[in-house]
Amino acid sequence: MSSNPSQIFRNQLIHDGLFVDGSEDHWRIGCRPFELSTQQAKFLEELGQHLLAFYTAVNRLYIESVKGTQPQWVHQYFDIGKPDDLLEFARMNRFKNQLPGVIRPDLIPTDSGMALTELDSVPGGMGLTGTLSQMYAQQGMSVWPSSDGMIKSFSRMLKGALKNQPQSLAIVVSDEAEAYRAEMQWVATQLPQHGWEAYCVHPRDIRFTEEGLFVEAKGKEQAVSLIYRFFELFDLKNIPKGELILYSAKKGRVVVTPPYKPWMEEKLALALIHHPMLEPFWEKALSSETIACLRATIPPTWVLDPRPLPPTAVIPGLRHHNHAVSNWDWLGDTTQKERQYVVKVSGFSDLAWGSRGVSMGHDMSQEAWKSTIFQALESFQTTPSILQAFHKGKLVVVEYYENPSAKETRMEGRVRLSPYYFVVDGQAELGGVLATTCPKDKKIIHGMRDAVMTPCGVVTEE
């Protein structure tokens, strides 16, 4: 191993555009990969297939809800705030079976197991995880599942989406996603090793003709057969050439992944796996093992729907002072100890990604919490929110390089594990795992300046 891995790591990250030379670091560089137990690694290996089955079932549930063979309130929830033209396009029969090719949950290891707090099909961090995995492996450290799994699996997923068309890819990154442009550019530079012509472009760089879509590269126009959509659907109205990309996809001139399916990008899907009225559907659509895994891993979650219930009805699974409840009136008046809940914007909003739009009840004053609940209920008709039981992460210890001395410094904190699964031939292939460890006094775990971000390894048991 190098005598000064800290500087090697820093130089590599600056070269890859993930640190900006001369400015404050975005996060702390870990001394080594985050160590998973063999039990945690086994869980992560198996989780991907359960999540792919869940995605497949959610897509089917939505389609059958539109047809009226499943409860119509399901698609009505998913459709809130979505423009009619997007829903009309998304429901086209030719796209019926299309699913996102990347699945990334956010998992919090707790004293009682894993808690799945987010599920993302347009995730950031792919390039970062790929860079870090290679970087640590080059210093002789063991990275799990492999040092090059992110790019290999991403390439395999893309090839499956294309079938037998030319391997010409445009990764289209919007202004809204600008913070991720450098890492997606890194992804584009790695893909030629796997047979791709790959370009990371702004939407305005796409040129449309009746024959297809093109980008200018290497001094000439290059035809594009596949677009990896790295922009959110709520942002479509701000995407230059957005309508032309949609038109080309509709006419079969180009393949777009992930598909334009807003119901696949809503957090409220997490509430449905727990809903008692949908039990017959889940029992037919999913194996008993998948149902058990999802219900054990996804915290109890509810849609914050302000509409009144009949006198004989209650909100399923929700209790206050060990009593059933039928409205949300009590929620704003809970004590700090009682409000172990998180409120999140469900989707189709600039508040629905990153750490934005997340409010933790026990970390707020009662006045602020009451205002958060009021705003969430008031916004239901345009932007629904969910209420999720809070699961506290267990304490872990990591080491990072203290700049500018490069001294190895220990930190006690809580970790978020973000495994990246790529759908290949009907299987969820694990490409890499990003560990984000934040100081123990931080309430929300995300890629903040004080966070230590590393790939993962597996503890070698004696």
Question: What's the Cα-to-Cα distance from 424 to each of 194, 261, 429, rounded to whole Å?
Answer: 15, 19, 7
Per-residue pLDDT at 2 = 47
Strand ordering across the sheet containing 220-224: 207-209, 212-217, 220-224
d(C-alpha 373, C-alpha 342), whole Å: 10
The percent of the chain in helix, strand and coil, each rounded to the nearest 5, is 35, 25, 35
Cβ neighbours of residue 217 under 8 Å, at least 6 residues apart? 199
- Beta strand segments in 248-373, E: 255-257, 301-303, 319-320, 323-324, 341-345, 358-360
Q: Are 43 and 114 contacting, i.e. CB atoms less than 8 angstroms apart?
A: yes
- With CA atoms as reference, report the closest residue to 55 among 356, 428, 448: 428
Architecture of domain 165-257: 3-Layer(aba) Sandwich (3.40)
Tens digit of pLDDT for each residue in 93-143? 999 999 999 999 999 999 999 999 999 999 999 999 999 999 999 999 999
Q: Where are the domains of the chain?
A: 165-257, 300-389
d(C-alpha 457, C-alpha 187), whole Å: 22
Measured CA angle at 18 (ends 15, 21), to 5 deg: 60
User: Tens of pLDDT along the chain (462 residues)?
Assistant: 446 788 899 989 988 888 765 555 578 999 999 999 999 999 999 999 999 999 999 999 999 999 999 999 999 999 999 999 999 999 999 999 999 999 999 999 999 999 999 999 999 999 999 999 999 999 999 999 999 999 999 999 999 999 888 999 999 999 999 999 999 999 999 999 999 999 999 999 999 998 899 998 878 899 999 999 999 999 999 999 999 999 999 999 999 999 999 999 999 999 999 999 999 999 999 999 999 999 999 999 999 999 999 999 999 999 999 999 999 999 999 999 999 999 999 998 887 676 677 999 999 999 999 999 999 999 999 999 999 999 999 999 999 998 767 889 999 999 999 999 999 999 999 999 999 999 999 888 888 889 999 999 999 865
